[in-house]
Structure 1
Amino acid sequence: MLSPIFIYGSVLLLVSWHFVEGLQGEKHTLVKRGAIPENCYHRCDGGCHYGLCNCNHGWTGQSVQCSVRDCSSGLYCKNGGTCVENGKDYTCVCKDGWSGKDCEHVDCSSGLYCKNGGTCVEKGMDYTCVCKDGWSGKDCEQVVCTWSGHCNDRGTCVPISTNTDYTCSNCASGWTGKSCHLIDCSSKVYCNNGGTCMGDVNGGTDYRCICEEGWTGKDCQLINCSSPIRCLNGGQCHLQNDGKKFNCTCADGYLGDNCQIDMCSPYKIADIVFIIDVSVSQDGATFNEQKNFVKYFIAQFPLGRDHFQFSLVLYASEPHAVFNLRNTYDNNTIIDAVDNATLHVGKRGATFTGKVLAFVKDHSFATTNGGRADVDRYVILLTDGMSSAPLDTANQTKLLRLSYPNIRIISIGSGEFVFHTELLDISAYHLNVYPLRGNDSVRKVQKSTMYGCERCTTAYSDVVLAFDVSSFNYGQLDTMLKTAEVLISNLHTDVNQTRVGLFKYESIAEEVFKFGKYTTSNEMISDMNKHIQKKETCMKDGHCSSRDLSALLQDISDEFQMHSDKSRRKAVVIFSQFIFDNYIAERIQNLKENGVIVIIVGEGLDANMDRMFQLSTNPFFTFIIGKELNTPIDVILALMSTLEYDICFDQ
């Protein structure tokens, strides 16, 4: 305590000052003015009056002591925190999002800041947000629709609610939901081949399929070979094309794509209708060949109401019946009627195959024209497969099958150019497609009607696949390899069945493998894809041109002479564009003269089509594969009935 003395004029003043140490280190002064000396604690700078403290804002207390925090002052607990007095101290109950003595610090852990997955970074009384893709703003609350992830790259993002949310429009087929993230089973994108889609996996973001019998896989897209509907009557099922297709090795006595046809049943009679295309695309020489085919066919069967009945229909723009089923008398009479059929100039024109199929359905098999309800029915169609109204042809084919479920349609390719795609579609089974020349189709009908299994057997061929690699670009060669894969996969190549050899030509002629080296299609395809590849150098110089393709043909001729069984049918499938074909016509003619069927396969409009038709055994054995011509790779299956065929024996 200090008691300073002041002399003011002649007056002596004595003043007592008391200094008090505050609890927080402050100095407080109490001026004594007649009051009992007391200390005013905690911010009493306002002075004392009559011995009482005038407490600073934020403090209160009894008498002369400002010793209690005043929570009502609003000085404590910021940002909405609740102040709780605790004598000379206080505590704050902070609202969510704040922390600290006075709730003065942002609390990022509260989750109140940075929406939509943004990361909160504390900065004292403030914060910043690191937003995820697709969001912006102080709290990442603004949608950025230019980011494709909102709709999972499957739709169009549309901002809503003042840009704080979004929805997706135009979701891709198969998807629905706010973010195009939910499976839309009603879209029919999922579960093929009659499968039922169930969008109940992972909260609707995935699906499962309940497959129809005979199918398996995520989308029921794969053949289930273990299904009882595959390869009936003891047949063995073999998967092809990565499980998307199959073929059957049928037990003795059965045939058909599913081994559904019983070939060993007792003698079965049939009504057989021949249809001959006489449109302008079929010349007189072709018409004579067609008639000879029909005459030979009829000559193999006994005729009559209790045996076989035949009808002949000619067509171009309109159908015309030469004779009906009820006109069947005896073989000679019917054969003479075929022989006397003529081309009427006025009746030729475009090729309306759909019309003639409708005519056969409505008239040829009608009971009024001799049709019988309890016999097998055959339609044998001789055409080039180039109908003028292909959609109508397809529709009328379906209607014909619906009207006569037991009917079998056999397509015979004839003419200067053969479009195999339509022939395969009409017949619905590749083993029902044949070339005009030869009697394989006759034997097929004999086996399924008269002879049965004891008098008919399946014969197999020796087949050489020859690739003129130099004539193709990379894309064309890939198409040719896939075409060959389809053929190999459908051939029966076990011991004593079809034997396949492989040759190639690029800069030189090479043998890849001989007859009989492999007995499984997978082995052949693997070796083929390994060796049939285009070399970079052959794209840059002329040494890899097919000018010397004759060397390859000579090697093939030698292979047949030295290693092929004389009893076997022989065929060579040449994959080439025939861009350069000097000196090869003679080699190919030699192959033909030695009984080798010459089959030519090219790709697209770059193929030398005219030359290919000249060099193949006949137009049926020329294949131009490619999208430009609407000929998929599986048209090569039209060869199957030639390479694996029936031989029947008279008793």
Structure 2
Amino acid sequence: MVSPTFIYESAILVALLHFVKGQEGEKHILVKRGAGPSNCYHSCDGLHHGGCHNGFCECDRGWIGQYCSVRDCSSGLYCTNGGTCVENGMDYTCVCKDGWSGTDCEQVDCTWSGHCNNRGTCVQTSTNTDYTCNNCASGWRGNSCHLIDCSSKVYCYNGGTCMGDVNGGTDYRCICEEGWTGRDCQFINCFSPIRCMNKGQCHLQNGGKEFNCTCADGYLGDNCQIDMCSPYKIADIVFIMDVSVSQNETTFVEQKNFVKYFIAQFPLGPDHFQFSLILYASEPHAVFNLSNMYDNYTIIDAVDNATIPDDKRGATFTGKALAFVKDNSFATTNGGRADVDRYVILLTDGMSSASLDTANQAKLLRLSYPNVRIKSIGSGDIVFHTELLEISTYPLNVFPLHGNDSVRSVQKSTMYGCERCTTAYSDVVLAFDVSSFNYGQLDTMLKTAEVLIANLHTDVNQTRVGLSKYESIAEEVFEFDEYTTSNEMISVMNKHIMKSETCMKDKQCSSRDISSLLQDVLREFQKNSEKSRRKAVVIFSQFIFDKDIAGRVVLEIQNLKDNGVSVIVVGEGLEANIDKMLKLSTTSFFTFIIGEDFNTPIDAILALMSTLEYNICFVQ
């Protein structure tokens, strides 16, 4: 503040000059106090930057000073776009920010990359007073390439969702998919429930961008997601059910129950297991295709209500059914998948009306689908094992209708090495009724037994074999674990199982009462068999008994069954009493008639392999 003193006509005049910096629109004025003329003492409009109003000198915006002749840089009228105004009396200069030039910094300088934030190409407008940005870098948009472009997919990795709503669009946030974390969802979230499941331990690697799992027992996979003891390798499975005239209504119901139980053991759906059901007699009939049924209730109901049209009933043309599966069931139009395992489960008695065509169609099916596995399930009042073995090509793919060995076989093949699922072994007694055979018949039975023994695994903790015989009396030849190699067993068997000359002379063997032999067999199981093992007796006999002897034999066989022993009966040729054998065996599948009369070779006995050496899964 300046306070000059003036002499005006003998009066003392004190004038105070106020130079006030105010808001936009305020005036810089000379305030006159005391006596004086009504006009301003100084002329303030001579330079046309102000005027005298009511005794006050009011300057135009942008000017200050006694004569309104000094530039007012604080007015904001000079040096645009952030330039700095420097007062120089009646003039001024501008110190422009980067990217601007001109008297008032009004001209764009596009040589400076900052206009587009180093992310695009600056282009001046026609007046050179503004600009736009072209070719913004990926991830950016806007006039100055200053806004986040979430559509560019340069943010939020691993399936994360970009939200460009932070700080007016100049920043972003990510909504990460399960299992990921970090600003850009770039890091593994070890606490996510999808990482190292089933009590596995998650370990971060590579700065958190990778991980590995230490899985709990029984699980494997990148995230321990595979239960090694649950079916995991998906498959397409087709059931072929024989409903020809050789199969009665009881068998049909048993077949349906088998199929329903089988299906219930697997998860269903286009990403899991798919099933199809074909009924056949003279012609095949598709009840449902692989793509038709995706829930247990629907598919079980379809099996229950399955029936074959009247015009397709008749004889047993198994070959036609196999050809139908080859041409239709695994087709993609019916739901077949190219990259999965395939199974055909054939339920039949093995007595097709055109056996050569059946064998040929089975071969063609395997040629068309190299990864297909055909499993034959013997069902019916009488089972012809030879055809079942020929269809399946491998003894362990042939099963009886009763029991769940076939289901366990498929389950294990679709698991990843479940340690709780393993091969189990049986205790087997071979019991020879020598008295019922002539020399030729006995030789056939011995060769049949040799084939069976040679194919069993008889090392320590595997299948254990005992041998007993009956001629005039019952005699145990060797117990379980006495021999552990097949060669030893076969040698001892051929040495001891023979017809006695004495017996042939005095007819002491004619009674053929094998009840004592069966009693010895039961005692062997009770004394030496392990409880966890499956027990089976293979009785080689023609089963021709007097009426009173037959009653005792039936009683002893029932005792064996009551003690958990599977009864398997083997006879030779037309002389074998097949009716009696079917009644005594645990199931018709366990009845074998070997010999040329029935066109049944000795290796038909190998159909027993899946029963004697089988898959079992232990519950934890």
Normalising by structure 1, we get a TM-score of: 0.59
Instruction: Write the distance in 2 (CA, Å) between the matches of 1:539 and 1:592.
Output: 33
Letter in 2 for 1:386: M
Equivalent position amino acid for 1:409 in 2? I
| Residue 346 of structure 1, CA deviation | 4.6
CA distance in 2, matches of 1:444, 1:585: 33
1:623 matched residue in structure 2: 592
- Work out the CA distance in 2 between the residues paired with 1:595 and 1:265: 28
In the alignment, which of 442, 446, 449 is matched to residue 414 of structure 2? Answer: 449
Aligned residues: 390
Shift of 1:295: 0.3
Give how far 1:526 is off. Answer: 0.7
TM-fit CA distance, 1:539: 2.5
Q: Counterpart of 1:466?
A: 431
The question of whether the paired residues in 2 share the 8 Å contact of 1:413 and 1:423 is answered with yes
1:638 aligns with 2:603: no
Q: Please give the per-residue CA displacement for 1:297-354, whole angstroms capped at 9, x wherever unaligned.
A: 0000000111000000000000000000001211221111111113555532100000
1:343-400 Cα offsets, whole Å, 9 max, x none, are: 5555321000000000000000010000000000000000000000011111111110
> For residues 535 and 547 of structure 1, what CA distance do their matches in structure 2 show?
14
**For the residues of structure 1 that align with 2:452 and 2:255, how far apart are their CA atoms?**
28
Residues 279-310 of structure 1 show CA distances to partners (whole Å, capped at 9, x for unaligned) of 01100000000000000000000001110000
Task: Map 1:416-455; keep pairs closer than 5 Å.
Answer: 416-450=381-415, 452-455=417-420
Structure 2 SS opposite 1:545: coil
Residue 323 of structure 1 corresponds to which residue in structure 2? 288
1:536 matches 2:505: no
Match of 2:273 in 1: 308
Q: Which moved more, 1:369-378 or 1:451-460?
A: 451-460
**Amino acid paired to 2:400:** P
CA shift at 1:541, angstroms?
3.5
1:297 and 2:297 are equivalent in the alignment? no
The counterpart of 2:522, out of the listed 538, 541, 557, is 557
**Counterpart amino acid of residue 446 in structure 1:** Q
| d(CA) in 2 for partners of 1:360, 1:574 | 38
Residue 264 of structure 1, CA deviation: 10
Q: Which residue of 2 aligns with 1:356?
A: 321
Which of 521, 526, 537 is residue 486 of structure 2 equivalent to? 521
Taking the aligned partners of 2:275 and 2:290, their CA distance within structure 1 comes to 5
Residue matched to 2:563: 594
Counterpart CA distance in 2 for 1:316 and 1:639 is 27
Conserved 8 A contact 1:378-1:410: yes
2-side partners of 1:498 and 1:279: how far apart?
37
The corresponding residue for 1:604 is 573
Once residues 438 and 423 of structure 2 are traced to their aligned partners in structure 1, the CA distance between those partners, rounded to angstroms, is 38
Relative to structure 1, is the Cα distance of residues 363 and 528 closer, same or farther in structure 2, using a 3 angstrom cutoff?
A: same
Structure 1 residue identity aligned to 2:382: F
Matched residue of 1:548: which SS? Answer: coil
How big is each residue's C-alpha offset from its partner over 1:134-189, in whole Å with a ceiling of 9 and x where there is no partner?
xxxxxxxxxxxxxxxxxxxxxxxxxxxxxxxxxxxxxxxxxxxxxxxxxxxxxxxx
Partners of 1:546 and 1:579 within 8 A in 2: no
> Are positions 1:365 and 2:334 aligned together?
no
CA contact (8 A) 1:468 1:546 kept: no
Aligned residue identity for 1:507: S
Identity %: 82
- After superposition, residues 398-409 of structure 1 pair within 5 angstroms as 398-409=363-374
Measure how far apart 1:452 and its partner are: 3.1
Match of 1:648 in 2: 617
Conservation of the 8 A alpha-carbon contact between 2:264 and 2:296: yes
Tell me what 2:440 maps to. 475
Larger Rg: 2
Shift of 1:593: 1.4
Q: Which residue of the partner structure matches residue 413 of structure 1?
A: 378
What is the SS of the residue equivalent to 1:388?
coil
Maintained 8 Å contact 1:266/1:452: no
Please provide the CA RMSD for this pair: 1.7
Deviations 1:188-240 (A, max 9, x none): xxxxxxxxxxxxxxxxxxxxxxxxxxxxxxxxxxxxxxxxxxxxxxxxxxxxx
1:518 maps to amino acid: Y
Task: Give the distance between the partners of 1:408 and 1:373, measured in 2 at CA.
Answer: 15
Q: 2:354 maps to what in 1?
A: 389
CA 1:598–1:636: 2 relative to 1, 3 Å: same
Letter in 2 for 1:322: V
In 2: Cα distance, 1:601 partner to 1:452 partner: 36
Q: What does 1:167-246 correspond to in 2, within 5 Å?
A: none
Provide Cα deviations, 1:593-645, integer angstroms capped at 9, x if missing partner: 11110000011111111111111011100000001111110010000000000
CA distance in 2, matches of 1:546, 1:496: 39
Partner of 1:280, secondary structure, is coil
Post-superposition Cα deviations, 1:50-92, rounded to whole Å, max 9, x if no partner, equal xxxxxxxxxxxxxxxxxxxxxxxxxxxxxxxxxxxxxxxxxxx
Name the counterpart of 2:532. Answer: 567
State whether structure 2 residue 500 is matched by structure 1 residue 500.
no
What is the correspondence of 1:247-286 to structure 2 with a 5 Å cutoff? Answer: 267-286=232-251
Q: Which residue number corresponds to residue 211 of structure 1?
A: none
- Partners of 1:266 and 1:623 lie apart in 2 by 34
C-alpha distance in structure 2 between counterparts of 1:332 and 1:265, whole Å: 21
Q: Deviations over 1:77-126 (max 9, x none)?
A: xxxxxxxxxxxxxxxxxxxxxxxxxxxxxxxxxxxxxxxxxxxxxxxxxx
Q: Deviations over 1:18-69 (max 9, x none)?
A: xxxxxxxxxxxxxxxxxxxxxxxxxxxxxxxxxxxxxxxxxxxxxxxxxxxx
TM superposition shift of 1:268: 1.1
Deviations 1:521-577 (A, max 9, x none): 111111101100111232233321353210111111111111111111000000000
Question: 1:114-133 residue pairs with structure 2 within 5 A?
Answer: none
Q: Is the 8 A contact 1:458 1:646 kept in 2?
A: yes
1:473-531 CA distance string (max 9 Å, x none): 00110111010011001111111111100000001000000111011111111110110
Q: Distance in 2 between matches of 1:437 and 1:456?
A: 20
Letter in 2 for 1:619: S
Q: Which residue matches 1:486?
A: 451
In structure 1, how many angstroms separate the alpha carbons of the residues matched to 2:510 and 2:517? Answer: 13
Residue type of the partner of 2:410? V
- Determine helix, strand or coil for the equivalent of 2:457: coil
Aligned to 2:583: 614
Q: Distance in 1 between matches of 2:311 and 2:433?
A: 46
CA contact (8 A) 1:269 1:450 kept: no
- Supply the AA of the counterpart residue of 1:318: E
Specify whether residues 266 and 562 from structure 1 end up closer, same or farther in structure 2 by C-alpha distance, changes over 3 A only: closer
- The one-letter code of the counterpart of 1:427 is S
Q: What are structure 2's unaligned runs of at least 5 residues?
A: 1-227
Q: Deviations over 1:395-452 (max 9, x none)?
A: 1111101100000000000000000000000000000000000000000000000353
Question: How far did 1:265 drift?
Answer: 12
Could you tell me how far apart the structure 2 residues matched to 1:645 and 1:525 are? 23
The answer for the alignment partner of 2:140 in structure 1 is none
User: What amino acid sits opposite 1:524 in the alignment?
Assistant: M
Tell me, in whole angstroms, the C-alpha distance in 1 between the residues paired with 2:539 and 2:601: 18
| Secondary structure of the corresponding residue to residue 462 of structure 1 | strand
User: Which residue of the partner structure matches residue 68 of structure 2?
Assistant: none
Task: Please tell me the residue identity of whatever aligns with 1:535.
Answer: S
Unmatched tracts of structure 1, length 5 or more? 1-262
CA distance in 1, matches of 2:343, 2:261: 16
Q: What letter matches 1:591 in structure 2?
A: L
Distance 2:489 2:507 in 1: 30
Q: Distance in 2 between matches of 1:516 and 1:419?
A: 33
Q: Aligned with 1:320: secondary structure? A: strand
Counterparts of 1:548 and 1:396 in 2: how far apart (Å)?
A: 46
